Amino acid sequence: MTTSTRGSAAKAAPAVLVLEDGRVFRGRAYGAVGETFGEAVFSTGMTGYQETLTDPSYHRQVVVMTAPHVGNTGVNDEDPESGRIWVSGYVVRDPARLPSNWRSRRGLDEELADQGVVGISGVDTRALTRHLRESGAMRVGIFSGEAVADDAALLSRVREAPGMTGADLSQEVATKEAYVVPAIGQKRFTVAAVDLGIKGMTPHRMAERGIEVHVLPATATVEDVYAVEPDGVFFSNGPGDPSTADHPVSVMRAVLERGTPLFGICFGNQILGRALGFGTFKLKYGHRGINQPVQDRTTGKVEVTAHNHGFAVDAPLDKVSDTPFGRAEVSHVCLNDQVVEGLRLLDKPAFSVQYHPEAAAGPHDAAYLFDRFTSLMNTVLMEGQRA
């Protein structure tokens, strides 16, 4: 989706952002100079831009930062959530002129340019965010340098770009080869993690709890999953429209059938929703940021959580549902808009959340979910030993 010139020498070049509804914002090139297309979404996180940029779930999205100053702490080698930047474009208001942090190795502008990521700065990101909030997420193009042309010509190119609805993207971001993240300290459990666009912190959070994580490609079959003799199976976050994820849904159904402890995050929650027979739908502008209030209805506690989702599960909030795998309920709900943020089976050891308990970036309020997964595996293991 991106054609660009590497190097930030031309960073003062004029740039233009064109939304598919014809609204235009002008600014200056930030990062690589060239052109790019994607779905325009906004993130309200005031910190954690490296984690945002490298989260594979942002593949094919142009991220607008509501925080007005971006790049202040530069770029370090520790915080990326994957091997590269995945956003297809980046929109900021006021970039740092002089990054400063003890871990910083280079500037964000330079990093975006080196990775060929086209961005734009000097945009009134508050006006742009309000527009997306009122009109909904939509396709967008950013053009700078020689790519700038008359607005009507750019608009027709934006309207030719693919949208997010119906996009099947997991295989474009997931690992091609299986790999193992070893347990830290004493190994207690083995987990098969189906990579649909996994963030690096997720297997790390499991490893911290004595779990050896076998990360498997998105195309992994039921046989591949059980070949690692897992105590639990995990389905990761990932980009795209969950209504296209037929293969992981069928693998998950087999896991539910066998009663292996199961945990899903984000895309994994949507896949559990589909496996249970619920629908998924596109939210008007989604949840992206690190300060979203979610209630755990199993305890009544409210947690402040990290989000990045544009779709949601359509399940009833006010009743227990009968599904092919027994009774299921909505375990977590977003207090801003009552969107389903978690699912739990009552007759099988399976649950999932729509948000990001691995918290990279974000508050650690939801870390207990990894403990819940661990105790679920422990309980099933103990029952197996007794049987």
| Number of residues near ligand GLN (by CB under 6 A) | 12
Q: Which is nearer to ligand GLN, 15 or 173 (CB)?
A: 173
How far, in Å, CA of 77 to CA of 26, rounded? Answer: 32
Is 240 known to sit in a ligand binding site?
yes
Is 295 known to sit in a ligand binding site?
no
**Position 182, amino acid:** P
Binding of ligand GLN by 202 (CB under 6 A): no
Only segment of 104-112, 124-132, 307-315, 341-349 that touches ligand GLN (CB under 6 A): 307-315
380, with CB counted inside 10 A (0-12, 13-18, 19+), is: middle
Is 281 known to sit in a ligand binding site?
no
By DSSP bridging, strand 61-65 and strand 89-91 are parallel
HSE (CB half, 13 Å, CA atoms) of 218? Answer: 24
Active-site residue flag, 356 = yes
Q: Which is nearer to ligand GLN, 96 or 283 (CB)?
A: 283
Contact 236, 267 (CB under 8 A): yes
Active-site residue flag, 266 = yes
Q: Which is nearer to ligand GLN, 200 or 242 (CB)?
A: 242
x/- binding map, residues 265-294, to ligand GLN, per CB under 6 A? -xx---------------------------
Nearest to 358 by CA among 344, 368, 346, 343: 368
Beta bridge partners of 214: 180, 192
Binding of ligand GLN by 308 (CB under 6 A): yes
- For 242-274, b/e burial (b = at least 16 CB within 10 A) is bbebebbbebbbbbbeeebbbbbbbbbbbbbbb
How far, in Å, CA of 268 to CA of 250, rounded? Answer: 13
Binding of ligand GLN by 310 (CB under 6 A): yes
Q: Which is nearer to ligand GLN, 15 or 249 (CB)?
A: 249
For the segment 40-69, give every residue that binds ligand GLN (CB under 6 A).
57
Length of the chain: 387
For the segment 211-250, give every residue that binds ligand GLN (CB under 6 A).
237-240, 242
Catalytic residue among 212, 266, 287, 309: 266
Q: Which is nearer to ligand GLN, 170 or 260 (CB)?
A: 170
Active-site residue flag, 358 = yes
Minimal distance, residue 61 CB to ligand GLN, in Å: 8
How far, in Å, CA of 370 to CA of 377, rounded? Answer: 11
Contact 88, 31 (CB under 8 A): no
- The residues assigned a catalytic role are 266, 356, 358
Indicate the annotated binding residues.
Answer: 57, 238, 240, 267, 270, 308, 310-311
Binding site for ligand GLN (CB under 6 A): 57, 237-240, 242, 266-267, 308-311
Indicate the annotated binding residues for L-glutamine.
Answer: 57, 238, 240, 267, 270, 308, 310-311
